[in-house]
Amino acid sequence: MNILILGSGGREHTFAYNIASSPKCDGLFVAPGNAGTQSLATNIPISINDFSEVKRCVLQHNIDMVIVGPEEPLVRGIADFFTNDDQLKNIMLIGPSEKGAALEGSKEVAKEFMERNSIPTAAYRSFTADNLNEGQDFLETLSPPYVLKADGLAAGKGVLILNDINDAKTELENMLSHQKFGEASSKVVIEEFLKGIEMSVFVLTDGKNYKVLPTAKDYKRIGEGDTGLNTGGMGAISPVPFADEILTQKIEERIIKPTIRGIENENIDYKGFVFIGLIIVNEEPYVIEYNVRMGDPETEVVLPRLKTDLVDLLEATYKQRLGDISLEVDSRAATTVMVVSGGYPEAYEKGKIISGIEAVSDSIVFHAGTTFKNGAVVTNGGRVLAITSLEGDYKKALKKSYQNIGKLHFDTMYYRKDIGFDLT
């Protein structure tokens, strides 16, 4: 079949890497893609939030399956656009309907869904500019730190955690009355702070059946020791070393099963990935967020561990036959370390020539923000490359990723040297 992947990051390069080796894949296209996907697939320079452009591309290249990488097209309803179009309705699109995507697109929708389905999460209330004063009074009833979340999509920046009550009140006002995060913060969820360790689980569902994919832990902060600004993710490890059998079972029983049952009972058309961000408090799992796609850079450690053919899995997802598939996972650990442009996640320069990629051995180089310029691979984003290694344990895998990063160079290159520092 002909397969189209939408997106341009390390996640999409990883999907392309897995799918390119599937016997079921005849033609592979990535829109818009990057320099890495170009070596495996045909890159198509379109805007993926313009669904009529996506439609033209699907029809022109006789696409049978579309995999949606990032959240934005999903939250804008790309799955419904396909279902409601006579020429597209039989294309296998992997991703939830707009109603399902609201689990990521609105923090309040996600919280209400968890409440209805008795899924453990932090206590919360939501506010708009009309009841700002009530929001400020509610803050007074909580103890610090205060967690303020913009309701809508804010490119991973919409969560503020503040220690001081006056700062929290000011920021609540900035979000609600001064559009700190634009339209996304016209509603704000204020939530109880949970102290614990974070990890993520990934589930593939056809809306009824599900498969639990390998767990992963992401390192979100730019600085070593988890300091500084939040980024999209600076590195990841799979499996999560502390996720033992007991914790894994609690997560499946208390979180995954009620989530999938909720999707089914609420008639949410959902054929795609559910990425569940968790905080483990005293060995008890709580949901901090749903994402309706795979994570980046978590994909760079989850997919390389899948032994089951990914196209088979996705086809079964579309046809609601996931129950018939058995999932095989590589028992080795996978790690990835992100190499980023100096300045990221704030302003950074692009167009720096990257050298040393061909010298990398025994690791996989996934391109995140790269392009070709005058025949050379150059930087084209904040996150530039993800270096993934597979080994018997995560420490050995990390060592290999770091050895190979030593062979890479570009002006302003930066990476965290302490991925995994909090694990023993």
Q: Does 10 bind ligand GLY (CB under 6 A)?
A: no
Which positions ≥6 away from 367 have C-beta within 8 Å?
10, 13, 34, 35, 36, 37, 377, 384, 385
Q: Does 171 bind ligand AMP (CB under 6 A)?
A: no
Q: What residues are paired with 5 via a beta bridge?
A: 30, 67
Which C-beta is closer to ligand GLY: that of 207 or that of 233? 233
Other residues' Cβ atoms within 10 Å of the Cβ of residue 56? 13
Helix (H) or strand (E) holding 137: helix 132-141
Which C-beta is closer to ligand AMP: that of 282 or that of 331? 282
Sole binder of ligand GLY in the list 100, 232, 239, 382 (CB under 6 A): 232
Sole binder of ligand GLY in the list 152, 233, 235, 382 (CB under 6 A): 233
329 binds, among ligand GLY, ligand AMP, none (CB under 5 to 8 A by kind): none
Sole binder of ligand GLY in the list 18, 185, 291, 388 (CB under 6 A): 291
Exposure letters 229-257 (e unless 16+ CB within 10 A, then b): eebbbbbbbbbbbebeeebbeebeebbbe
Which CA distances in Å does 119 have to 201, 208, 276? 15, 18, 12
232 binds, among ligand GLY, ligand AMP, none (CB under 5 to 8 A by kind): ligand GLY
| Minimum distance, C-beta of residue 117 to ligand GLY, in the bound complex (Å) | 22
Exposure letters 65-99 (e unless 16+ CB within 10 A, then b): bbbbbbbbbbbbbbbbbbeeeeebeebbbbbbbbb
Q: What angle do CA 259, 84, 62 make, to 5 degrees?
A: 100
Contact 31, 54 (CB under 8 A): yes
**Nearest-angstrom CA–CA distance, 36 and 34:** 5
Q: Does 159 bind ligand AMP (CB under 6 A)?
A: yes
**Nearest-angstrom CA–CA distance, 217 and 141:** 32
Nearest residue to 420 (alpha-carbon basis) of 238, 244, 288, 282: 238
Q: Does 198 bind ligand AMP (CB under 6 A)?
A: yes
191 binds, among ligand GLY, ligand AMP, none (CB under 5 to 8 A by kind): ligand AMP
296 binds, among ligand AMP, ligand GLY, none (CB under 5 to 8 A by kind): ligand GLY
Q: Does 109 bind ligand AMP (CB under 6 A)?
A: no
Nearest residue to 424 (alpha-carbon basis) of 242, 257, 205: 242
Contact 330, 296 (CB under 8 A): no
Which C-beta is closer to ligand AMP: that of 206 or that of 296? 296
Which CA distances in Å does 400 have to 330, 334, 343, 393? 18, 11, 26, 11
Which C-beta is closer to ligand GLY: that of 58 or that of 279? 279
Sole binder of ligand AMP in the list 31, 57, 162, 194 (CB under 6 A): 194
Sole binder of ligand GLY in the list 206, 296, 300, 309 (CB under 6 A): 296
Q: Does 419 bind ligand AMP (CB under 6 A)?
A: no
**Nearest-angstrom CA–CA distance, 219 and 398:** 13
Q: Does 71 bind ligand AMP (CB under 6 A)?
A: no
Q: Does 64 bind ligand GLY (CB under 6 A)?
A: no
Which C-beta is closer to ligand GLY: that of 295 or that of 381? 295
Which C-beta is closer to ligand GLY: that of 80 or that of 296? 296
Show the binding pattern over residues 263-292: x = contacts ligand AMP (CB under 6 A), - = does not: --------------x----------xx---
**Nearest-angstrom CA–CA distance, 151 and 153:** 7
Q: Does 218 bind ligand GLY (CB under 6 A)?
A: yes
Report helix angle 165-177 to 132-141, nearest 10: 160
289 binds, among ligand GLY, ligand AMP, none (CB under 5 to 8 A by kind): ligand AMP
| Minimum distance, C-beta of residue 362 to ligand AMP, in the bound complex (Å) | 31
Token pair in block for residue 170: 């000011």
Query: How many chain residues are in contact with ligand AMP, going by CB under 6 A?
Result: 12
Residues that bind ligand AMP (CB under 6 A): 122, 147, 149, 159, 191, 193-194, 198, 220, 277, 288-289
Residues that bind ligand GLY (CB under 6 A): 218, 232-233, 291, 295-296, 298
